[in-house]
Structure 1
Amino acid sequence: MVDFYTFMTTKRIEFLRVTHLRGPNIWTYRPVIEVWVDIGDLEDYPSNTLVGFYERLTTMLPGLAVHRCGVGEPGGFLERLREGTWAGHILEHVVLELQNMAGMRTGFGKTRQTSQRGVYKMAFRTRQEQVGRAALEAGRELVHAAIHNTPFDVTQAVAQLRDLADKYCLGPSTAHIVEAATERGIPHIRLTAGNLVQLGYGNKQRRIWTAETDQTSAIAEEIASDKDLTKSLLKSCGVPVPQGELVETTEQAWAAAQDIGLPVVIKPHDGNHGRGVSLDLNNRQDMDAAFALAKRKGGGSIIVEQYIPGNEHRLLVVGQRVVAAARGETAWVTGDGQSNIIELVDRQLNTDPRRGITEDAPLNVLAPHEGAEIILELQRQGLTAYSVPAMGQQVLIQRNGNVAFDITDEVHPSVAAMATLAARAVGLDIAGVDMVLEDATRPLSAQRAAVIEVNASPGLLAHLKPASGHARPIGQAIVAHLFGPMQNGRMDIVGITGQVNTTPIARLLSWMLYTQGQKVGLACKDGFYLGERCVDPHDYTSWERGQNLLINRSIDVAVFEHNPQTILSEGLAYDKCRVGVVTDVSGFETLSEFYIDSLDKLYNVERTQVDVVLAHGTAVLNAADPQVVEMASLCDGDVIFYGLDPELPALAAHRASGQRVVFSEQGGLVLAQGDTRVTQIDLNGHWVDLPGSAEWVLAAVAAAWALGMSAELMGAGLRTFEQTIQKHR
């Protein structure tokens, strides 16, 4: 064993390159951060040679005990650590664990040696780039501290990462919906730094903004924000609502209360989340104080309405049904004759682990000396936050604001029907309907009940993390509302990868699709095309520019050209494709900066195109390139081989097994499946004067066949495309 840190305290892990691969890549089909790590002299010191390193690292990060690593079961990484592993691999697991501790769960990571001594490529999954990069830096410092036996504040580091995650990651409600979409195979794109998210691609896409969708009417939102108008519409549709009036002064409020009858409720006309709401008001003094509170919280007109006894309930309506329901409960404390109300609340209520100040907490922390609603409630009882209640005295702290107790399975059908009617009356596809009910399990006809509000963009956390009861699959319900049972939000995508003829293949294929009448988008080296129109003549093979196709709502099908450099530096622009074309595995010499120094390593780059072919999709592969042929076994879908010579071994064997092939014969193109010649496209002398055209025409035709295009339309597309090229030569 070597007492390493006593003579090498200045040695550090260095990062040579840090890249966010935002799409499918050589590591995985999800975004990762790839790091080129130089561990320097640490190459000579695996973990089992560093005195005390194992103990220090596992003390700082006890969660490493569940990391599986190579053995495939919990404890696998610790076993590797004891036996001896290197700093790059250790850093990978430390970064993953720091992200997990910060609440950004992830588990994928890999570390591989390069041909240069001490230099490793390390990749780790991250759900957000800034958080991942910060975890990488923190992880390096933690590993250094464990090696050199120097201090490192894990708690502070995790807190900083958690703050970054809260700042940059999707909110919990939006993330829940996105996860539900992912479970259904629906891709997503985050359109802003906030919670605006696209589900699906092209003309199959839908959009969400937390609990709003692209079906949420702006008119309905305006109606929901006007409580008086909402109440009028609900009443006209037969929805029970409390009698009420809109007022501007305390005198008007008292007069309205006399007309309505005490007790009453006072609340802001434009308030939400229960702010400024006072219940069960029985005298002028309490009403004046409640009026002032509502003015501070809302600033506009005030509503005075009939008080309906019962508990507040929130029913979440998605589409035409109630998918979740929660009940509110009042909050009380019991005096002990010694403690003031602040102390009683802290001891009897705020110690509840369900209470907190973050969005994750289903119940809020209560502050009797700061919360205006609580201060007013105490005043009505002749108390302040600093009063000391007598032994056994019950003190009401909060009447509303605790609507977080799940009762979804208990709601009576008539109650649910009334909630959905209220949402339809306002015009919302997703609505939080607030009802006062004596008992949600009983029919409406058997109790006093009323709808008091209909909310647009309702909060979802009370149903995702209730204070009691079961969490509800809100995300699944919203995704099902946006997409039919057989829909996955995917338009047809074709990806073309290689170093030879990829641009002409992409141009020809998109042209054939265009002449078929489809709305086609093309991102290739020649530019960005919509149909026959070149929108931008610059190179569009990058990830960011490729996103332009995916977010375009007018496109039926998108064609992407890729090269190995893009896959290595950015990843593919999409997660999956219907057709993946690979032309060749050649030219690794141009990729030396990526440590790609052999055809085998280039093969691992270009296979990414085949890895992302959908199960109902097709890989189109060049039968003349042996390493491209090897990729056939990696495809989850079908395979079409293409080649000039029908006797190519791979093509002939594929055809013999009953599969599809495309080849050249007597001046034409043959599409065959097994022994059957499905069709032949006669070129009639076309294309003969375009150098090297034969092979890439085969690839484009094979891709068109994979998309279901008929031979007649392929022939028409070939002829008109050649004429277009000849015209501009």
Structure 2
Amino acid sequence: MRLSQVACYHGPNIWSKEPVLVCSLEMTPAYAAHFVTGAARLARAFPYWIDSSLLTAAGTPPGEIVARAVARWALGALIEVRGYLHEADARNGPGGATVWVGFHHPRLTGMALELAVNALALASSNENFSAELMKADLDDLWKHCSQLHPDYQARILMIASRRQDIPVQAFLSGTRYRQYGWGARSRVFRESMSNADGYLADDLTRNKPLSKSVFAALGMPTPRHVVVTDAAQLGDAASEIGYPCVVKPHNMGGGRGVTAGIRTAAQLQQAYQFARQVTAGPLMVEQFVPGDEHRLMVVGGKMVAAIRRESSAVVGDGKSTIAQLIDQLNADRPRNLNRSRYRLLIKIDDGLRGHLASQGADIDSVLAEGRRMVLRGTSNMSTGGVTVDVTDRVHPAVVSLAEQLALTVGLGTAGLDYLTSDISRSPLEGGGGFIEMNTVPGIDIPVAAGWTEEKIGSLVLGGIPGRIPVELCISPSLNLEAARQAMGEPQSGPTAAWVCGPELHIGALQLRLAEAAPWAALRGALRNKAVTSVRIAATVDEILAHGLPLDRFDRIVLAGVTFPERWQAVIEHAAISVDCRDFELHEGRPEK
């Protein structure tokens, strides 16, 4: 069995409507049945990746069954940790099959396909094949996916974009910046933070004491705090703040290094040392506010969600240790965040052990039947916390404070952390207070609380992202003047763009992109927020080599060219209208 690359299509093509890497999988008919057995073992070992029904479809040739198993396994491996891809299939042919799989980065999809072939070969020759045998290779692939694929917050936005027919592209290749929509109808996000959030807002949110100074300057309720830089200052800090108190790093998130509910000087020293494990910078000693932490999400000046965060807890059965009870909770939290609904694994670390010790227990303790024990003093999802939707219960005063705060600071998408024992009461009644604000609000939090990705993703994207008019002229050779003539009516104005090979024209401006990737100049035009329409000049050879440059066009003009039947169907499906025009070039100009 041999895998070899056939093509890398960056747009619609004869195999898929989306970008795909296409390979040939050569195998002799005599070995196809042998590999079908391996495909069945692959499906049993990776049931979430391969639908076993495809292995038993009536009338499907063995070679195609095997190729489809390879494609689906590769896709499953690519999106298990990070990513949002959909295309994976195969078609049988003479001497083997054609396999195609979607990509964010073609190189990673190529790696996944090679790994799939290796996994199939191993499964075919080993009747005791299991997922554990592929662990080392998969961990290596996932390391690359974690760096180059969209993260889970981007994935939520991409789900909403797909449902709303909003195009998505990388804003800067190799980074976490992604663009939703085209040109004048685009927004750029990094995770769930966008270019609607100002630099000042981001600066203020990164520094916890500075954030609290903002709360105080606006007269908003917030617990008192003192900043310390060494252990010698802890006594004075405790005298000023009082017990119980909280210790947290100055500028770190995710609950790292945080200890809450400190009641003695000894516990304060322990909390200080725990924080020092994650930072050498300043620490905050903060007044403890009883109650639960709530993430208030404000988008475009309006509060859209309030999610209560709670620490995970175990309930005793009279025979299992706390460590075993944690394992039982983690069994429902696979590495794949989609299947776990964004609930992360509960890790046994010093923070968890310390909180158990404060309750007179350790991980080897056996809890009496029915006894409930909270595992941490913090409720961050990154440390295994759980979430509850309380949006409909928030007191109007809390809503108003959150909206005013986001508006004043300049947060287009804000995640405000508010502590209270009762979110339905005003701060004056319930004694609540703001403790943090975030430009990346954690849009996975509502999903973990029961929201759909589409619902929260649509709210965060807002009403701006969408499509602008795009037209394509395909001619025998790249000639901008010929394309202009073939398109008929002129396209003019300072915000109208023309793309021809590496050249980009926006109004009277002429730009040239050095990037060698297919359709690089077009990507540059679509990134430009000043651009309101785009026309593209391309050749038949470019289309056949790279696929169509985009998934949809208002119009495609075929200027003196024809395509094979399957490609003609791709073109007609991608355009609202297709015009065929006969043109001949004479001294560099077209004649009709």
TM-score normalized by the length of structure 2: 0.83
Q: Which of 370, 379, 387 is the aligned partner of 1:405?
A: 387
What RMSD, in angstroms, separates the aligned Cα atoms of the two structures?
4.0
What SS does the corresponding residue of 1:439 show, helix, strand or coil? coil
Q: Is 1:85 equivalent to 2:44 in the alignment?
A: no
Q: Is 1:421 equivalent to 2:404 in the alignment?
A: yes
Instruction: Tell me how far 1:175 sits from its aligned partner.
Output: 1.2
State the AA in 2 paired with 1:95.
A
Q: Which of 113, 131, 134 is the aligned partner of 1:136?
A: 113
**5+ unaligned residues in a row in structure 1: which ranges?**
1-11, 587-600, 625-642, 645-686, 696-729
Q: Which of 169, 191, 195 is the aligned partner of 2:149?
A: 169
State the AA in 2 paired with 1:463.
P
Counterparts of 1:492 and 1:606 in 2: how far apart (Å)? 22
* 1:202/1:553 contact within 8 Å kept: yes
Q: 1:607 to 1:64 in 2, by over 3 A?
A: farther
Q: 1:157 to 1:611 in 2, by over 3 A?
A: farther
* 1:443-480 CA-partner distances (Å, limit 9, x unpaired): 444322111111222333232234xx444632111112
Q: 1:411 to 1:37 in 2, by over 3 A?
A: same
Counterparts of 2:498 and 2:516 in 1: how far apart (Å)? 9
Counterparts of 1:493 and 1:293 in 2: how far apart (Å)? 56
Q: Is 1:347 equivalent to 2:324 in the alignment?
A: yes
Match for residue 34 of structure 1? 22
Match for residue 194 of structure 2? 213
State the AA in 1 paired with 2:189.
I
* 1:72-112 CA-partner distances (Å, limit 9, x unpaired): xx9466234xx451525631343124423663663553526
Q: Which of 693, 701, 724 is the aligned partner of 2:590?
A: 693
* 1:276/1:294 contact within 8 Å kept: yes
State the AA in 2 paired with 1:602.
P
Counterparts of 1:571 and 1:251 in 2: how far apart (Å)? 66
- Higher gyration radius (CA): 1
Counterparts of 1:427 and 1:534 in 2: how far apart (Å)? 35
* 2:90/2:97 contact within 8 Å kept: no
Match for residue 457 of structure 1? 440
Q: Which of 620, 625, 647 is the aligned partner of 2:579?
A: 620
Q: Which of 259, 267, 282 is the aligned partner of 1:301?
A: 282
The 5 Å alignment of 1:105-254 reads 106=86, 108-111=88-91, 113=93, 117-118=94-95, 121-126=98-103, 128-141=105-118, 144=121, 154-157=131-134, 159-160=138-139, 162=142, 164-190=144-170, 191-250=172-231, 252-254=233-235
Match for residue 39 of structure 2? 57
Instruction: Tell me how far 1:251 sits from its aligned partner.
Output: 5.3
Instruction: Tell me how far 1:200 sits from its aligned partner.
Output: 1.9
Q: Which of 559, 578, 601 is the aligned partner of 2:535?
A: 559
Match for residue 504 of structure 1? 481
Counterparts of 1:453 and 1:306 in 2: how far apart (Å)? 14
What SS does the corresponding residue of 1:79 show, helix, strand or coil? coil
Q: 1:462 to 1:356 in 2, by over 3 A?
A: farther
Q: 1:557 to 1:112 in 2, by over 3 A?
A: farther
State the AA in 2 paired with 1:462.
I
Counterparts of 1:377 and 1:77 in 2: how far apart (Å)? 50
Instruction: Tell me how far 1:209 sits from its aligned partner.
Output: 0.2
* 1:372-421 CA-partner distances (Å, limit 9, x unpaired): x3344355456666778899987654121354322244432423333333
**5+ unaligned residues in a row in structure 2: which ranges?**
none
Instruction: Tell me how far 1:358 sits from its aligned partner.
Output: 7.2
Count how many residue pairs are aligned between Structure 1 and Structure 2: 574
* 1:492/1:577 contact within 8 Å kept: yes
Instruction: Tell me how far 1:363 sits from its aligned partner.
Output: 4.1
Q: Is 1:94 equivalent to 2:56 in the alignment?
A: no
What SS does the corresponding residue of 1:60 show, helix, strand or coil? helix
Q: Is 1:543 equivalent to 2:522 in the alignment?
A: no
* 1:287-308 CA-partner distances (Å, limit 9, x unpaired): 2332333344343333233221
* 1:500/1:584 contact within 8 Å kept: no
The 5 Å alignment of 1:365-376 reads 365-367=346-348, 370-371=349-350, 373-376=351-354
Counterparts of 1:65 and 1:264 in 2: how far apart (Å)? 48
Instruction: Tell me how far 1:136 sits from its aligned partner.
Output: 2.3
TM-score normalized by the length of structure 1: 0.68
Q: 1:475 to 1:512 in 2, by over 3 A?
A: same
* 2:20/2:87 contact within 8 Å kept: no
Q: Which of 571, 574, 579 is the aligned partner of 2:547?
A: 571
Q: 1:212 to 1:551 in 2, by over 3 A?
A: same
* 2:260/2:377 contact within 8 Å kept: yes
Instruction: Tell me how far 1:330 sits from its aligned partner.
Output: 4.3
State the AA in 2 paired with 1:401.
S
Q: Is 1:479 equivalent to 2:465 in the alignment?
A: no
Counterparts of 1:458 and 1:345 in 2: how far apart (Å)? 32
What SS does the corresponding residue of 2:221 show, helix, strand or coil? coil
What SS does the corresponding residue of 1:693 show, helix, strand or coil? strand
Q: 1:87 to 1:149 in 2, by over 3 A?
A: farther
Q: Is 1:22 equivalent to 2:3 in the alignment?
A: no
* 1:224/1:426 contact within 8 Å kept: no
What SS does the corresponding residue of 2:567 show, helix, strand or coil? helix
State the AA in 1 paired with 2:579.
V
Match for residue 675 of structure 1? none
* 1:189/1:198 contact within 8 Å kept: yes
The 5 Å alignment of 1:315-714 reads 315-331=296-312, 344-352=321-329, 353-355=331-333, 362-367=343-348, 370-371=349-350, 373-378=351-356, 380=358, 397-402=375-380, 403-414=385-396, 415-466=398-449, 469-471=450-452, 473-480=455-462, 483-484=463-464, 488-499=465-476, 503-508=480-485, 513=490, 516-524=492-500, 527-532=503-508, 534-536=510-512, 542-586=518-562, 602-613=564-575, 617-622=576-581, 693-695=590-592
* 2:74/2:112 contact within 8 Å kept: yes
Instruction: Tell me how far 1:68 sits from its aligned partner.
Output: 12
Counterparts of 1:399 and 1:299 in 2: how far apart (Å)? 22
Counterparts of 1:145 and 1:292 in 2: how far apart (Å)? 48
* 1:216/1:428 contact within 8 Å kept: yes
What SS does the corresponding residue of 1:19 show, helix, strand or coil? strand
Q: 1:138 to 1:153 in 2, by over 3 A?
A: farther
Q: 1:351 to 1:585 in 2, by over 3 A?
A: same
Instruction: Tell me how far 1:174 sits from its aligned partner.
Output: 0.6
What SS does the corresponding residue of 2:166 show, helix, strand or coil? coil
* 1:330/1:396 contact within 8 Å kept: yes
What SS does the corresponding residue of 1:351 show, helix, strand or coil? helix
What SS does the corresponding residue of 1:179 show, helix, strand or coil? helix
Question: Equivalent pairs: percent with the same residue?
Answer: 21
State the AA in 2 paired with 1:138.
L
